[in-house]
């Protein structure tokens, strides 16, 4: 399979596993200097720090640091590091499940974001792995919600990014999850949930509405314990929050979900006492480069089910 040429490296190194920001100068810009444009384009990101960053050589082009008089050059790029936010450490390890020269597959804990976003930057699986494994070019092949634990694939070889990301784009990866949620005796099992989901930018909760189906999930009861049940969930599409919303719409919201069916007030950053009971247990795919069949299993368990005897489908959790 043809591999694409890796992108040119940024002229600034990563900082704690975090890439520098790249800003391209518009072709139709009329600013006198690069600093003038950045003050216009990024007032909330550089703000009062702009003069200090320029003076300290923290903003660079491909030719080196800019100064206050560096003229605006349409189409050029500049790089700099955002100031890292104060973050509460997530006190759980990222466990390595599989590693070769192209792939890194890990078992992510609850509460750890997959990639930097918003207030979660250094405390993410990607930043940790880049630093701990000394793999600065590592990128995700897909993403897992911060509150969801389980298997996540990363790509170590930049030349192979297209091949592995294409597996998820073309739905060639079989993924399974397990969840603990209320037991509903009237719920026909197994069943396939189909709906139209809408997730608006800046709105935490997705919603369902009439229209063409774009989200499909398979739900199967594995075990019951009193008023709770353990379910196998198989997403046949990849919408944000799909499994969480579908379980809630069935009347069985996943235990520990702070968004569905109701958005709850945020908890303290150091409160890890109520993890979402959703675990990405399975990744199965054919390696597009080697042709090898890979079948990987999470070693994690869900806390709400941890006191159970040997599970009826124990083979799902074995590697």
Angstrom distance (rounded) from CA 245 to CA 251: 10
Sign of torsion, CA 242 245 247 250? negative
Angstrom distance (rounded) from CA 102 to CA 107: 17
User: What angle (nearest 5°) sits at the alpha carbon of residue 113, between those of residues 108 and 119?
Assistant: 155
Which pair of tokens denotes residue 6? 């890796």
Element (H, E) at 244: helix 242-249
SS3 content of the chain, % helix, strand, coil (to 5): 15, 30, 55
> What DSSP letter does each residue of 150-217 carry, written as one string?
EEEEEE--GGGHHHHHHHHHTT-SEEEEEEEEE--TTS-SSEEEEEEEE--TT-SS-EEESSS--EEE
Task: From the candidates 19, 145, 157, 257, give the one annotated as an active-site residue.
Answer: 145
145 is catalytic: yes
Active site residues: 145
């Amino acid at each position: 399979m043809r591999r694409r040429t890796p992108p040119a490296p940024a002229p600034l190194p990563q900082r704690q596993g975090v890439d520098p920001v790249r800003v391209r100068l518009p072709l139709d810009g009329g600013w006198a200097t690069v600093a003038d444009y950045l003050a216009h384009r990024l007032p909330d990101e550089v703000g009062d720090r702009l003069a200090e960053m320029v003076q300290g050589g923290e903003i660079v082009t491909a030719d080196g640091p800019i100064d206050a008089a560096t003229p605006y050059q349409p189409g050029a790029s500049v790089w700099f590091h955002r100031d890292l936010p104060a973050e509460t450490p997530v006190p759980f390890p990222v466990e390595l499940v599989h590693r070769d020269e192209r792939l890194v597959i890990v078992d992510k804990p609850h509460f750890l974001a997959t990639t930097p976003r918003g207030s979660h930057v250094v405390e993410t699986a990607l930043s940790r792995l880049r630093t701990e494994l000394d793999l600065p070019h590592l990128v995700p092949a897909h993403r897992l919600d911060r509150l969801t634990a389980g298997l996540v694939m990363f790509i170590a070889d930049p030349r192979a990014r297209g091949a592995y990301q294409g597996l998820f784009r073309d739905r060639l990866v079989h993924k399974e999850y397990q969840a603990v949620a209320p037991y509903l005796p009237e719920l026909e099992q197994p069943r396939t949930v189909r709906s139209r989901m809408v997730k608006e930018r800046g709105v935490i909760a997705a919603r369902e509405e009439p229209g063409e189906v774009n989200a499909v999930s398979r739900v199967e009861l594995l075990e019951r314990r009193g008023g709770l049940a353990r379910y196998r969930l198989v997403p046949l599409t990849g919408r944000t929050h799909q499994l969480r919303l579908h379980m809630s719409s069935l009347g069985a919201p996943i235990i520990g979900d702070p968004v569905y069916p109701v958005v709850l007030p945020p908890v303290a950053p150091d409160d890890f006492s109520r993890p979402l009971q959703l675990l990405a247990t399975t990744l199965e795919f054919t390696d597009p480069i080697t042709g090898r069949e890979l079948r990987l299993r999470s070693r994690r368990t869900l806390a709400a089910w941890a006191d159970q005897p040997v599970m009826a489908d124990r083979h799902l959790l074995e590697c």
